[in-house]
Amino acid sequence: MNYSSLMVLRQRSWLHLKFGASLRDSSPNPSSNTPPPQLLHCQKKQQTTKPYHYKDHRKSLCSSHADKLQEVRRIVDETKGEKETLFLIDSLQKLCVDYHFQEEIEAKMHSLYEKQFEIIHAEANNIVQVCLLFRLLRQARYPISTDVFYRFHDGRGEFMASLAKDMEGLISLFEASNLNFGGELILYRANEFSRIHLMNSLDTDLVVHIKQTLETPYHLTPQRFKARQILDNNASNNKTFYYNFNIVELGKMDFAILQSMYQEELKEVTRWWKESGLGQVLGFARVQPMKWFAWLMASLPNPKLSNYRIVLSKVVGFVYLLDDIFDVEGSLDELYLFTRAIER
């Protein structure tokens, strides 16, 4: 490891750039000479909240969750039509419960892929369903051409003006346009067209959903955060969301269980940092276990990956520590010696 490789540790991921502001505590900028607050203050900032909508004992909640899971599994098995299947898969994914039905969803997605031309032809004028089919297939890594969007062009190569009044269609078009592999001109135009008309339509009944769609796009936002938005805003009033009471209830239970799990994991990371004593020895270091853990909670949300989240949160903590050593404390000579010591 050389000096330049260590400096790479200073780079910030997309998650840090997007959510750093919301997770940042009131500590001073590490580039200043004022030390940040100690761990006690950080712990006060990180006090956990009660699980979402559920106060029952976790064991009882898990039992109810298992029963609800079977009900939703029956719904998944009984859903056959292409249109219903599209909206079902979308709702499962947006509520982050799709991991319970991986095999069923994969089978249905393969069937949709084989029938994509029939579906597109049958729904030629339905931009919501065409966009949803495109988005689901592309995010599942099935090859699907952007040519499906040309049917919504006018004779001048622009999107039809009539689409500007279809809020549900614009939201679907915007979400689909974010899956641009790069260089796909029609998706750039779709994104611009849908964004402009959505921004000019914030006085509609979908105002909350439109704002959230523009500010936190589905494919650029942690999935659990988007699921919380749907649950908070009453999914039954969301016209772009396939509403089923049992699926929404499963989403709430799943959210509550994983929230409780994440809270326990965060406590473990915070306890580790406190017991390590690094915060006392290196007073200039930032004490931000919540931010470290948020990286992994967003990138590894599966409940089976609990140990990975805990261990990698500690690794991120050391990355922040190295960053503070280079940015705040060390002189150029000291950093050179520090780098040489690590290389040895």
CA 321, CA 339: separation in Å to the nearest integer? 14
Q: Residue 239: what pLDDT? A: 55
Residue 261: burial class (beta carbons within 10 Å; 0-12, 13-18, 19+)? middle
Closest listed residue to residue 300, CA positions, set 258, 253, 269, 257: 258
Supply the pTM of this predicted model: 0.76
Q: Residue 2: what pLDDT? A: 42
Domain ranges of the chain: 3-50+258-343, 79-243
CA 43, CA 36: separation in Å to the nearest integer? 13
Average pLDDT across each block of 10 residues of the chain; the chain has 344 residues. List them in order.
38 36 38 40 42 55 89 94 92 94 96 90 82 95 93 87 91 95 93 94 78 90 90 66 84 93 94 87 83 90 93 92 83 86 84
Residue 192 near residue 147 (C-beta atoms within 8 A):
no
Sign, Cα dihedral of 238, 240, 241, 242: positive
Torsion angles phi and psi, residue 159, rounded to 5 = -65, 140
- Residues 262-289 have pLDDT tens digits of 999 999 999 999 998 887 888 887 888 8
- Residues 132-150 have pLDDT tens digits of 999 999 999 999 999 999 9
Q: Residue 240: what pLDDT? A: 56
Q: Which residues pair with 153 in a beta bridge?
A: 159
Fold of 79-243: Glycosyltransferase (1.50.10)
